[in-house]
Structure 1
Amino acid sequence: MTNTPETGTDPTAAVTRPKVSAWNIANVVTVIRLAMVPFFTVCLFLPDSGWRITALVVFLVASLTDLLDGELARRYGLVTDFGKIADPLADKALIGAALISLSALDELPWWVTAVILGRELGVTLLRFAVIRHGVIPASYGGKVKTVLQIAAIVCYMWLGVPEPIRWTVMGAATIVTVGTGLDYVIRAVRLRQVANRARAQ
């Protein structure tokens, strides 16, 4: 964060704003979520039903940390570029591990996993492709997409959920996933256009 003059005061006087460290509590929670992914995956593949429940609990706790780190970052002014990149990456790692595992267990068609992960990979590459122009933060639609994906995965992990409900929730998650992916493409193009115009001036 750069120092800028305070509005309404002597323009020669600059207000020094403290720089937010990338290693703050919000980002630590994000890193913890990443660390939970391999443990969740191992639990899901273990045959005993007790491990299945453990995997579900770990998945839900990891998903809730997404709300926690975002709230901490906003409430205490801990928003950083690292967090803007690491937070969605942690979400993608958790969701990706769950989808791939469910497909490997023959509980979810591979084409669904391919569509969702193809979108997630595309958006991630797009973020890095335009990062020199600026960071594209997660949108409201992206948050809705994540909630729907989590709900759909829980439906598949929770034994006994009727198949029509599973497919309905997963179908909604897939549609919103693709739709928000197109939105990111539009935002990236606009960001690049704005950056190019700024350089031209």
Structure 2
Amino acid sequence: MTSAVPNALTVVRLVLVPVVLVLLAADGGADGPARTWALILFMIAAATDFLDGYLARRWAVVSPFGKLADPIADKALVLGVLVVLVAVDGIPWWPVAIIAVREIWVTVGRLLVASDTVIAASPGGKLKTMAQLLAIWLYLLPGTPAWVDDAAWWVLLVATALALVTGVDYTVKILQAARASRTGGRASA
């Protein structure tokens, strides 16, 4: 197999990101048809995240494009939707800021050491992503009772805590990889 299918799924996710954001912004928190479409397309985009990674691992077809574009597409989807939710739904900005700083740092840090070391996604990082996606899904559900937003808030707080904990873990791994690269050795990450 080639990396064409996983890479195509990543491209689909990249294309869906601005569409989801525009629909969500156009809805303006009104829970209308634009929000429903934003939710549906968000779910499709989130599914491509899992499917492209699964296929790339199963077929052993990791590509340079995939290594670069996949995390960018993931972060663009999550951070983009969270920022729009701050603007249109008024969710508090500070968890989004913490998550954004963590995501940008970890992505840049991984890319800085990528020529020498691959820092794989940790179980905590995967759990953080699942919590983020669940929180976003709950926030995007149109016409729900207030307790759903309350649940979304608590899940977002869990995602924020996981972002902090895994951010520290990735920082240690990135610094170890950078140190090993300078000394000519390989870091075990």
TM-score, with structure 2 as normaliser = 0.87
Query: How far has the Cα of 1:118 moved from its partner?
Result: 1.0
Larger radius of gyration between Structure 1 and Structure 2: 1
1:137-189 Cα offsets, whole Å, 9 max, x none, are 32222211111100001111113151431221111111111111111101111
Q: Distance in 1 between matches of 2:161 and 2:64?
A: 29
Query: How far has the Cα of 1:74 moved from its partner?
Result: 1.3
**Identical columns (%):** 40
- Please tell me whether residue 37 in structure 1 is matched to residue 20 in structure 2: no
Q: Distance in 1 between matches of 2:4 and 2:55?
A: 10
Amino acid at match of 2:55: L
Q: CA RMSD in A?
A: 2.0
Structure 2: 5+ residue runs without aligned partners?
Answer: none
Greater relative CO (CA pairs within 8 A, separation 6+): 2
Q: Distance in 1 between matches of 2:141 and 2:105?
A: 29
Q: Distance in 1 between matches of 2:181 and 2:104?
A: 24
Q: Distance in 1 between matches of 2:181 and 2:98?
A: 31
Q: Distance in 2 between matches of 1:70 and 1:131?
A: 18
- Larger mean CA deviation between 75-84 and 170-179 belongs to 75-84
Q: Distance in 2 between matches of 1:42 and 1:196?
A: 44
Residue in 2 that maps onto 1:126: 109
TM-score, with structure 1 as normaliser = 0.82
Amino acid at match of 1:30: T
Q: Distance in 2 between matches of 1:45 and 1:104?
A: 8
What count of residue pairs does the alignment treat as equivalent? 180
